[in-house]
Structure 1
């Protein structure tokens, strides 16, 4: 149960980081492709936040150097492609259906929640599995 609570809290932290960075970006930039760029920025911020929290506190995983760190992060990112598609589908879908900023963010939150559940399953099975030293 502790793992579920921790993972859920970290998913909430990463979701807040994602949505907040999108909102900050849109407040600072309103030029061409502002919405798409803001979602890209939010995705990147959320990805790095979630990776650092998952690696350290959920999977208690320690990499053996920069090369290994890069490989693990790349694999983590690749596992996130599908889950990012789920997140984006909900966020863009809510944007086009409701044409409202708050509803777009709600779609993003729903998509992130579904995506994070899928991502945990993938990370557990494919990313944080080697016999490297654990924290």
Structure 2
């Protein structure tokens, strides 16, 4: 059941990430727009995924706001490596494919790989208690 929820939350977070990227492109399409959109999407997906993982995957109840902040920072730190995986796929797909939407396919592949790695990192280092 946890695996199903994790996959479902990864899909929801991916959709939110891509939606925020799309909205970012709608608002700005100038210099470095792809990188800005990836950053905006990453933040949106990160916050949502943290809340869902904390509550429904790892069943963690923070002791207080400080504890929650520490967990979020550690969760975010574990996501740095996986974010590079996701961004690399998106950038490569954007560079090597003519179709404007290829970057989204790259993002989906990169996020999928990243979420598998992230689950193991979070289980081992973030929500180990």
Give the TM-score taking structure 2 as reference length: 0.97
Shift of 1:39: 0.6
Shift of 1:28: 1.2
**SS across alignment from 2:109:** helix
Indicate whether 1:90 and 2:89 are aligned.
Answer: yes
Give the alignment's Cα RMSD to 1 decimal.
0.9
Per-residue CA shift, 1:34-58, capped at 9, x if unaligned?
1110110000001111101000100
* Paired position in structure 2 for 1:24: 23
Indicate whether 1:122 and 2:115 are aligned.
Answer: no
* Paired position in structure 2 for 1:37: 36
Per-residue CA shift, 1:19-39, capped at 9, x if unaligned?
010001101112332111011
Indicate whether 1:67 and 2:60 are aligned.
Answer: no
Higher relative contact order (CA 8 A, sep 6+): 1
Distance (whole Å) between structure 1 residues aligned to residue 100 and residue 117 of structure 2: 26
Question: How many correspondences in the alignment?
Answer: 129
Which runs of 5 or more structure 1 residues have no equivalent in the other structure?
Answer: 131-135
Runs of 4 or more above 6 Å deviation: none
Shift of 1:64: 0.9
Distance (whole Å) between structure 1 residues aligned to residue 6 and residue 29 of structure 2: 34
